[in-house]
Amino acid sequence: MISHNIGRITEKPLTSVIEDYLEAIFNLDQEKKVVRVKDIAKRMNVKMPTVSSMLKNLNSKGLVNYEKYEYVELTKDGADVGKKIRHKHKILLKFLTEILQIEFKVADEEACKMEHTLSSATLDSLIDFMEFIQTCPRTGESWLHYFEEYRRHGRRPEKCQARSKTFSCEFKSQVDSIENSSPPGVVE
């Protein structure tokens, strides 16, 4: 059945592979003067013919402007997608490294996979959550530090409770300083 409405209505969701390419191109675009097939292949761990055929695909979807042997340029649509995915990637990476305290390299790989499965609604929740941890006087930096200890010394909630006094002092001084103004940091 051939549709007459070529625009919005026909719109199918992009595959995660396509999203990956757009993110890669978006990043390369900011790193280099021009983006070439070779660069994309390297970044995506893929051979050049694969990039060639993907660019044809992206062209047909109006996500890049690409002519044989020329440089690769994202369209507005393509750049929007690339930027959105990169944003998700960064938030996830931050959560994995700063909150869950996972080693950067592992976290980066994981974020790369999760960025496609994370809905925008969940992303918003996650951002709120991280902001809340940072800004809530009950948690913040030192709380995360204790989580780090908790992780290191392996699953011992008793130890955490034994430190209540320390929490108390730190907490009071934190509240004091907050009550004398100082706006919170915001994620991304």
Partner DNA sequence: AACATATGTTTTAACTGTCTAACAATTAGG
Partner DNA sequence: CCTAATTGTTAGACAGTTAAAACATATGTT
Q: State the sign of the Cα–Cα–Cα–Cα dihedral 174, 179, 180, 181.
A: positive
Q: Please, which of residues 89-128 interact with its own copies by CB under 8 A? A: 96, 99-102, 106-107, 110, 113-114, 117-119, 121-122, 125-126, 128
Phi and psi for 110 in degrees, rounded to 5?
-65, -45
Q: Distance between CA 28 and CA 36 in Å, rounded?
A: 9
Q: Distance between CA 42 and CA 2 in Å, rounded?
A: 38
The DSSP code sequence of 32-48 is: SSSB-HHHHHHHHT--H
The one among 4, 11, 30, 69 contacting DNA by CB under 7 A: 69
Identify what 68 binds: DNA, its own copies, none; CB under 5 to 8 Å per kind: DNA
Identify what 171 binds: its own copies, DNA, none; CB under 5 to 8 Å per kind: its own copies
List the beta bridge partners of residue 74: 64
The stretch among 49-57, 62-70, 81-89, 160-168 that binds its own copies (CB under 8 A) is 160-168
Q: DSSP assignment, residue 6? A: T
Residues constituting the chain: 188
**Joined tokens for residue 29:** 């675009």
Q: One symbol per residue from 34 to 63: x for binding DNA (CB under 7 A), - otherwise; what is it?
A: --xxx--x--xxxxxxxxxxxxxx------
Contact positions vs its own copies (CB under 8 A) = 96, 99-102, 106-107, 110, 113-114, 117-119, 121-122, 125-126, 128-129, 131-132, 135-139, 143, 146-147, 150-151, 155, 157, 160-162, 164-169, 171-172, 175, 178-179, 182-188
Contact positions vs DNA (CB under 7 A) = 15-18, 36-38, 41, 44-57, 68-69
